[in-house]
Structure 1
Amino acid sequence: MSNTELIIEERSRDIGDFLVGRLIPFRKKRMVGPFIFIDHMGPSEVTEGKYLDIGQHPHIGLSTLTYLLEGEVHHRDSMGTDQIIGPGSVNLMTAGRGVTHTERTPTHLRGKTSTLHGFQIWIALPKAKEEMEPEFFHVDAKDLPSWKDKGANFTLVAGTGYGKESPVPTYSEQFMLEIKTDEEYELDVAGNLKGEIGICIVEGSIQACENYVEKGNMLVSKLENQCAIKVAPNTHLLIFGGKPFEEERFIFWNFVATSKEKLEESKIRWKEKRFPKVADDNSYIPLP
């Protein structure tokens, strides 16, 4: 496939009342840079009897990044965070040695009909940061770097790229951008982004390395050999990636680690309910 490594099609799966499209991990591509898990949520209708209600569940060894295109999610965690996220803003929760959280439809949207659409992303931590204390950051949409180049509108969600830096904290070399085009646009990534790259087509299509890639797919390629990317008018892209880690990452359920022993320890901790808890919430999602 020339300089292109892989084209991945979204694989649908159900999470309760919601349909999501899994992009990575994929059997031929487990990670893109430090990004180890990407779910495309919706667009799904949120209405009575069909709310987002994900109870207490744990994480280790990663940062979760929530980026919404439509709708709102109420995040609460064992650090005491209580945050509603809306379109264009970023919630970044770094689990480190262990954290528990819930994700629900906010109270003010219950009894109404709305749409939920966005991305749930896991970014693996460097080995030296696996045991760090948990952290949470919220960054408003207005505080993210945004700019226009010809017929394309850019937002730098996280990391560094195109000579800019997002205020969203990162612990390794990475980038995540949203791009929306009004007209045909030639995307120049060489020299502007460093490392592996994943291009998720949310709407529209692109042409790269003689491949035509449409909505619902992700293109994974190597920047050092990147060919020209032509983006069709009215296309919406999410681009992410960065420098890969030297060590392998293991994943089980909501846990990411550089060793299988850490995964086993975390399984036991969750079964024995020794993770920190979200205050005033008695929900518990059992280990699968």
Structure 2
Amino acid sequence: MSDVLIETIVPVTHDLGDFKVRRTLPAKTRTMIGPFIFVDQFGPARLAAGDGMDVRPHPHINLSTVSHLFEGAIEHRDSIGSHAVIEPGAVNLMTAGCGIVHSERSPQSTRADGPAFYGMQTWLALPDGKEEIDPAFEQILPNRLPLLETPGVRARVIMGTLWGQTAATTCHAPTIYAEIMLESGARIPIDADADERAILVTEGGATLDGAPLMPFLLYLLKPGVTAPLTATSPMRAMLLGGGAFGTPRHVWWNFVSSSRDRINVAKDDWKAGRFPTVPGDDQEFIPIPEIAKTVSYL
């Protein structure tokens, strides 16, 4: 391990046939980095003609979901009546708060040719005092997400403030999140302001302060250290983190909370049909699993 990197998390890879999903959080060694409590990277892939992604309605509590695409499109519907199609460069922020149900599907317009599928899905725990806020949804278009462009560098700020630029996306807790694209030989400094920071390379080659970064691994950075990210080939990476949480969070399936009892209530509510339905997508749902694949270990 270098003087800059203090921990490496190897993803658990789920092969779904048409594409792979690589999950680095929650991990056995660490549940959170800043407010980030769930980090999935999916694709790149192209589904067969006529196929599509269909994530049926399912519930969340006490978190925000953040969707960001590199390629493709996803149609979002939720139980507060939101309906939006996200495309590359934008961000969808859905705040579950006291409870929300949503679905994510490939738009019909993309299915005939076979939809592309490549991007990031992350969850952010809501901080103390805000876990049970009202559910909400917002889509932030690219013109409200600052793009830093210098020779060989394109870096989009998705949440928070980085490189002196602030995204319009709502932050319920101190958060940084950015997509970084570098041409071979280009470099960009990684700001040191956040309590906790991590980098995940999704394609190409890179080093951080000279230490090589392997694709799909999540690298946790030492606090307070500014280090250059340098491309050894054309590359894309995600920078994420924010303020450290003082209170632990628990994860079980799609539920996050500081209270295990609250998660148990949510389980019972979903089994009993007490969550609201999704307008325009209320004929299907994902049943609660006997054993959840997504859990916190600590």
TM range (shorter): over 0.9
Post-superposition offset of 1:105? 0.8
Cα 1:187/1:92, change in 2 over 3 Å: same
Letter in 2 for 1:244: A
Listed one character per residue, the Cα deviations across residues 225-259 of structure 1 (whole Å, up to 9, x for unaligned) are 45544332411111010111100000000000001
Secondary structure (helix, strand or coil) at the match of 1:100 reads: strand
User: Partner residue of 1:207?
Assistant: 207
Post-superposition offset of 1:37? 0.4
User: Partner residue of 1:114?
Assistant: 115
Post-superposition offset of 1:219? 1.1
Cα 1:15/1:159, change in 2 over 3 Å: farther
| Residue segments in structure 1 that go unaligned for 5+ positions in a row | none
- Between 104-113 and 241-250, the greater mean CA deviation after superposition: 104-113
Letter in 2 for 1:218: L
Aligned counterparts of 1:283 and 1:21: Cα–Cα separation in 2: 26
Q: TM-score, normalised by structure 1?
A: 0.94
- Report sequence identity in percent: 33
Post-superposition offset of 1:54? 0.7
Post-superposition offset of 1:222? 2.2
Aligned counterparts of 1:210 and 1:141: Cα–Cα separation in 2: 32
Tell me the matched-pair count. 287
Post-superposition offset of 1:41? 1.1
Post-superposition offset of 1:10? 2.8
User: Partner residue of 2:148?
Assistant: 147
Cα 1:18/1:231, change in 2 over 3 Å: closer
Secondary structure (helix, strand or coil) at the match of 2:264 reads: helix
1:255 aligns with 2:255: yes
User: Partner residue of 1:39?
Assistant: 40
Is the 8 Å Cα contact of residues 17 and 52 (structure 1) preserved in structure 2?
no
User: Partner residue of 1:172?
Assistant: 173
Aligned counterparts of 2:275 and 2:82: Cα–Cα separation in 1: 16
User: Partner residue of 2:221?
Assistant: 221
Letter in 1 for 2:21: V
Post-superposition offset of 1:143? 2.3
User: Partner residue of 1:76?
Assistant: 77
Secondary structure (helix, strand or coil) at the match of 1:127 reads: coil
Listed one character per residue, the Cα deviations across residues 101-146 of structure 1 (whole Å, up to 9, x for unaligned) are 0001101112222311011110110021111000000011232101
- Between 113-122 and 13-22, the greater mean CA deviation after superposition: 13-22
Aligned counterparts of 1:65 and 1:169: Cα–Cα separation in 2: 11
Is the 8 Å Cα contact of residues 6 and 221 (structure 1) preserved in structure 2?
yes
Post-superposition offset of 1:53? 0.6
- Between 4-13 and 165-174, the greater mean CA deviation after superposition: 4-13
Post-superposition offset of 1:16? 7.3
Cα 1:153/1:227, change in 2 over 3 Å: closer
User: Partner residue of 1:286?
Assistant: 287
Cα 1:157/1:109, change in 2 over 3 Å: same
Post-superposition offset of 1:211? 3.0
Letter in 1 for 2:143: K
User: Partner residue of 1:271?
Assistant: 271
User: Partner residue of 1:234?
Assistant: 234
Secondary structure (helix, strand or coil) at the match of 1:170 reads: coil
Listed one character per residue, the Cα deviations across residues 6-38 of structure 1 (whole Å, up to 9, x for unaligned) are 122332104575421112111112111110001
Cα 1:146/1:95, change in 2 over 3 Å: same
Aligned counterparts of 1:50 and 1:217: Cα–Cα separation in 2: 29
Aligned counterparts of 2:102 and 2:247: Cα–Cα separation in 1: 27
Cα 1:73/1:182, change in 2 over 3 Å: same
Secondary structure (helix, strand or coil) at the match of 1:268 reads: helix
| Residue segments in structure 2 that go unaligned for 5+ positions in a row | 290-298
Aligned counterparts of 1:113 and 1:270: Cα–Cα separation in 2: 33
Aligned counterparts of 2:227 and 2:168: Cα–Cα separation in 1: 30
Is the 8 Å Cα contact of residues 187 and 231 (structure 1) preserved in structure 2?
no
- Between 78-87 and 181-190, the greater mean CA deviation after superposition: 181-190
Aligned counterparts of 2:62 and 2:145: Cα–Cα separation in 1: 25
Aligned counterparts of 2:133 and 2:272: Cα–Cα separation in 1: 22
* Moved >4 Å (runs of 4+): none
Q: TM-score, normalised by structure 2?
A: 0.91
Letter in 2 for 1:102: S
User: Partner residue of 1:4?
Assistant: 5
Is the 8 Å Cα contact of residues 4 and 209 (structure 1) preserved in structure 2?
no
Is the 8 Å Cα contact of residues 159 and 170 (structure 1) preserved in structure 2?
yes
Secondary structure (helix, strand or coil) at the match of 2:266 reads: helix
